[in-house]
Structure 1
Amino acid sequence: MKKLVLLFTLLLIISCNSQGKRALVGETEYQQVLNASYKDASKSPLKKKDLKNFKGLDFFPIDSTFIVTAKLTRTENAPTFEMATTTDRKPLYKEYGKLNFTLKGQDLELTIYQSQDDLRDEKYKDYLFLPFTDNTSGEDSYGGGRYMDVMITDISEENTFELNFNNTYNPYCAYNDKYSCPLTPRKNHLDVEIKAGIKVFEKH
């Protein structure tokens, strides 16, 4: 699946240079650029009928309590494994480490992964992949879980970094079943409602 940060940067440059055009839809810069990418027929994962009626993705209200500091514990000598997807495709990943953080008074843990394919691409080699499900999955949010990209370069010397659940996105499979998307591992289920970030997509 395409990484979003580079796309965001390009679209921000375009939007800043576009005078007199309608403002991008969304409460935050993240939402505005994500909406712009989905509205662009050359990049959008939406089916044609959904793109025709597209007015913007649905998000939970911005909530600063879903911005937390996570502590990373690196996984030493992690084996390469084939991650299950929605198709027969088996991309290669390694467990990069465990993230521990406190949210809504609960001590939680997620496993974060590194794509072995991305390591061969200079543009994406610093990306880490964080899929998760929570107690909104299958109702207010997509049943297959949501994703977050984390940059290795954002990790501090103390092995901490900010997790912003307001800045999550859905697998492309949430919009179009022609895509092959990694399945969220069961151990990455959070027993809490993450009412922040992207909501389930209502198809037409």
Structure 2
Amino acid sequence: MKNICLILCILVLNVSCAQEKSELAGETEFQRELNADYKDASKSPLTPKDLKTFKALEFFPVNDTFKVTANFKLTPNTKPFKMPTSTTRTPTYKCYGIATFTIAGKEYSLEIYQNQDPNRDPKYKDDLFLPFTDETNGFASYGGGRYIDLKIPAGNTIEIDFNHAYNPYCAYSDRYSCPIPPRVNFLAVAINAGVKAFKKH
């Protein structure tokens, strides 16, 4: 009898987990993982009020036009600088390299940064940071720009998928301090990809 009860409990748990996974909204794994994090109260940047009604972030339709292979030129001689944020905090970054790519036949360039915090966890040593603004900001996307997380590439090209662009936590709550994308990283094109502006309740 105990064995039967145990099997039934396992089956119920499996069904519950399967239902929970199927309920996660998102067209891609990136979108589903982001939605899962935002639903998790221990990880979510959402305010308690917004978390209560949160179902999913709103994304632009996935568009391969905004998935590019960029030429990547290292900039080893650039000096570390203090990046402004939405608060008085000024984290230190360095321009690690410049990515040049084309979208719809036009060429664009973006600076890609590396955090210079000496106390940063070594597991993030290969991480790069791409903050940018574009012509959707303040309209379809968050006015303060968006971010993309990247890894140091092995060669002289780097993959940039704007479908993975996400909002700073400041888009969801005033309690965060978020880097402001440098002016040089403005793209004079509408990047209709990634996370859209969040509608607060």
Return the TM-score normalized by structure 1. Answer: 0.87
Match of 2:168 among 157, 164, 171: 171
Tell me what 1:120 maps to.
120
Q: Distance in 1 between matches of 2:119 and 2:28?
A: 30
Return the TM-score normalized by structure 2. Answer: 0.89
Is the contact made by 2:94 and 2:114 (CA closer than 8 Å) also made in structure 1? yes
Q: Distance in 2 between matches of 1:163 and 1:119?
A: 27
Structure 2 stretches of 5 or more lacking a match? Answer: 1-13
Is the contact made by 1:100 and 1:109 (CA closer than 8 Å) also made in structure 2? yes
Tell me what 1:202 maps to.
199
Tell me what 2:157 maps to.
160
- Please tell me whether residue 192 in structure 1 is matched to residue 189 in structure 2: yes
Tell me which moved more, 22-31 or 180-189: 22-31
Structure 1 stretches of 5 or more lacking a match? Answer: 1-14
User: Structure 1 residue 80: deviation in Å?
Assistant: 1.2
The runs of 4+ residues in structure 1 deviating greater than 6 Å are none
Query: SS where residue 79 of structure 1 aligns?
Result: coil
Larger radius of gyration between Structure 1 and Structure 2? 2
Tell me what 1:105 maps to.
105
User: Structure 1 residue 76: deviation in Å?
Assistant: 2.2
Q: Distance in 2 between matches of 1:189 and 1:129?
A: 15
Tell me what 1:21 maps to.
20
Query: SS where residue 97 of structure 1 aligns?
Result: strand
Structure richer in helix, relative to its length: 2
User: Structure 1 residue 105: deviation in Å?
Assistant: 1.2
User: Structure 1 residue 118: deviation in Å?
Assistant: 6.9
Percent identity (aligned): 58
Query: SS where residue 122 of structure 2 aligns?
Result: coil
Tell me what 1:83 maps to.
83
TM alignment of 1:36-115, pairs within 5 A:
36-115=36-115
User: 2:79 corresponds to which letter in structure 1?
Assistant: P
